[in-house]
Amino acid sequence: MGITCLLYLPSAPSTAVDHINERLTDDLDFTELDEPWLVTCRSYRDQVAMRQRAAANSGPKAGSNSSYVPKIQYLLTFGHVEKMFSMVATMGGRRTGENAGKGETGIVVEVDRDFELILTKLKNLWTKRQEVVVEGIAYEHGDYIIRIGSMRIGGELVRGLFVQAENVKLEGSSSAALPGLRGVLRGALQGIPGISDIELTLALHGRSMRKQASALNAEESANKLGALKKTESMTMPTKRPADVAIRDPKRPRIQIPEADLDGNDWHEYAAVRLREDEFTRAHEAYQFFRLFRQEGLL
């Protein structure tokens, strides 16, 4: 496989899909693929802490046992991949901002589909908590695939869109590929009705900037994000904004800030025991795990 970049736009309406479709097919010559985009992620919470609390509350030293940190296990499947992927991590999400990566204590592994059948039989150890399904459309042009999907949680449709860009031919480290893929995503999404420029910029540059922006007042946030957008779009064409990024992914016109070019990219694969010098489906799965965790979706 190639290398992927995933973002989530929580405020984007479902009507934005039609405008993105028009941008991709009419302006950027993408072709809709027959195979839909389908991603399913389920979470299971361990029962160790619950049993310990029950035992402690019924014993002479009630409430004294609180050292155990509850665990949560995620199982993710792609509609077009036979294997599934598991991540076991601590409850309570993860740290962001300056402490990004330091709070991720999980591990991501590839498992057989039969693994979930075994897990469902271990109800005394793991109990199903939540299910998220992302379903949508995939488009292809040259070496690129762009996928757009809406989300259902517990069967209920939730506002917001997931968008993924993949360069199917590019190989190497994620830190070298992400700037080009971010440029492709910005070109495909910028100016789409219902997608604000501020939310797009925050989605492209990770959760840490979103938290920083929320801590500022509206004027300070607009100034900070405006400066970043000016840096990115300094030479952006006014028509067909993603043409350059699509045709020349190694030298996109979008200027990415230096912070996004270092080796410690925001996916932090090393924190979950994944190699940093190659990209696999397990790396792609972690992009979903990380996004679901930091958005509080699972």
Span 15-46, pLDDT tens digits? 999 999 999 999 999 999 999 999 999 999 88
Which two structure tokens, joined as six digits, stand for 220?
């300070």
Count of domains forming the chain: 1
- Which backbone phi and psi does 150 adopt, to 5 degrees? -100, 165
Position 215 confidence tier, pLDDT thresholds 50, 70, 90: very low
Please report where in the chains the tokens 């009507």 appear, as a residue. Answer: 15
Length of the chain: 298
CA atoms within 13 A on the CB side of 80: 12
pLDDT at position 253: 34
Q: Cα(173)–Cα(277) distance, rounded to whole angstroms? A: 5
Q: 207-215 and 218-232 helices cross at what angle (nearest 10)?
A: 140
Q: 197-204 and 174-189 helices cross at what angle (nearest 10)?
A: 170
**Is pLDDT at 91 greater than 90 in this prediction?**
no
Is-contact 208 96, C-beta < 8 A? Answer: yes
Position 82 confidence tier, pLDDT thresholds 50, 70, 90: confident
Taking CA 276 as the corner, what is the angle to CA 273 and CA 279, rounded to the nearest 5 degrees? 100
More confident: 212 or 194:
194
pLDDT at position 286: 93
Q: For residue range 60-70, what is the model confidence (pLDDT) as tens digits?
A: 554 545 567 78
pLDDT at position 175: 65
pLDDT at position 216: 39
pLDDT at position 93: 56
Q: Mean pLDDT, to the nearest integer, of 69-89?
A: 90
Mean pLDDT, the chain, as a whole number? 76
Among 56-60, 95-99, 198-202, whose mean pLDDT is lowest? 95-99
Q: Mean pLDDT, to the nearest integer, of 163-184?
A: 80
pLDDT at position 240: 39
Among 130-134, 243-247, 250-254, whose mean pLDDT is lowest? 250-254
Q: Mean pLDDT, to the nearest integer, of 203-223?
A: 53
pLDDT > 70 in the chain, percent:
66
Q: Cα(119)–Cα(128) distance, rounded to whole angstroms? A: 9
What's the pTM? 0.77
